[in-house]
Structure 1
């Protein structure tokens, strides 16, 4: 059977979903054949836009930036954990990952299949399952340094509903924590505990988020077909992360 390549990347489009508070995405013609003889697209986006990877620097300024990580961190054999069917905002525990973690070895890319891509572009996309710190620690202990998820984040995403006084109070508290204790304290208080565990792994970890539907990879895994994944980012200097073209190869 010939190998199959599967694109796991959301298309980058104007107005695409972004993490609450991140820069909006806009693609606007900068030059056109009608006026300049060539077509050139102007891009406005954040380092965390669309399907992307996080480097350790994303949560701690003393940790490695994107260009400080080896290329090997962005590719490898994949194991997919089937987390489909979970309720919104379910906390993923080590027990829910046990079957997948039994299959990983150092260098494995662990992918979390939540089924949440079906909500892409809707408010419900923010209500994805998320890792507990204990689950993140179990992943690191298993030797995984590269983790991917088909959802907005590996941590819980707050609902930024307009006019919600609880959210407004939380944001005010986070601002106060930043002023008094610095960015690391803010990261912990804002629900990035799993990020800190994974990205702070010995040697530096990588997190890929906003992957598309992983069903085909689960089916290949069940059939005993090897799966490899590549998550190579743009080569941004001193960056916290970057968009990627995520591609899986099923042998």
Structure 2
């Protein structure tokens, strides 16, 4: 079995969404004083490689802990969008290259190659986003989730979060952001898991996203 880690490492200097704070990892117990090591972790629920449930945007909609556990595992395919330039849109042209494979998966993962900019100011640039036709296609499908190697479903400049609202107002689906290493996944179906922390009334959670090939 080949396993690929699609998750960025959490640390105190990692990129975070503008307006939020970086994580704090504070040593509270040490081998010398307490005989064991323990760290106090403080961070936003939408830190690093993480997922959004509908309640992140829409009051009264489903929280992460309300999803059945099978929501977070299934077949996936990576849509290669690395040919797109800054400001371009992700269109059905990119999806059609994969034929009926995109109808046989639970997760659509979009590879912009943007994870290579992780840790630089460029990461917050004008990354490509899905257009209205792709959004409608996703909404009409039976997908468990979609995912991207960028910091948001919407452009950072869109404070209205237009795509988030359209996605979550109309479906019970999860949205994954800040994936990495998607180029290591072949252009075919593979197993994918993205389990969140089980937090009560959870509006989002860091995840450990993993692809594997049997």
Normalised by the shorter chain, which TM-score bucket? over 0.9
Unaligned regions of 5+ residues in structure 2, if any?
A: none
Greater Cα shift, 71-80 or 129-138 = 129-138
Instruction: Point out the structure with the larger strand share.
Output: 2
Secondary structure at 2:192 match in 1: strand
CA positional deviation for 1:28:
1.4
User: Is 1:246 aligned with 2:214?
Assistant: no
CA positional deviation for 1:237:
0.8
Alignment partners' CA distance in 2, 1:133 and 1:59: 18
Q: Residue 180 of structure 2 corresponds to which residue in structure 1?
A: 212
Q: Quickly say closer, same or farther: Cα 1:101–1:21, change in 2 above 3 A.
A: farther
Cα RMSD, aligned residues only: 1.7
CA positional deviation for 1:44:
1.2
CA positional deviation for 1:154:
1.7
> How do residues 132-143 of structure 1 correspond to structure 2 at under 5 angstroms?
132-143=131-142
Structure with greater Cα Rg: 1
User: Is 1:119 aligned with 2:82?
Assistant: no
Alignment partners' CA distance in 2, 1:15 and 1:95: 37
Instruction: Point out the structure with the larger helix share.
Output: 1
Unaligned regions of 5+ residues in structure 1, if any?
A: 159-188
Q: Residue 76 of structure 1 corresponds to which residue in structure 2?
A: 74
TM-score, normalised via structure 2 length: 0.92
Alignment partners' CA distance in 2, 1:99 and 1:143: 20
CA positional deviation for 1:140:
1.9
The number of equivalent residue pairs is 213
Alignment partners' CA distance in 2, 1:147 and 1:19: 19
Q: Residue 194 of structure 1 corresponds to which residue in structure 2?
A: 163
Q: Residue 200 of structure 2 corresponds to which residue in structure 1?
A: 237
Instruction: Say if 1:10 and 1:210, in contact at 8 Å, map to a contact too.
Output: yes
After superposing on structure 2, the runs of 4+ consecutive aligned residues of structure 1 that deviate more than 6 Å are none
CA positional deviation for 1:138:
1.3
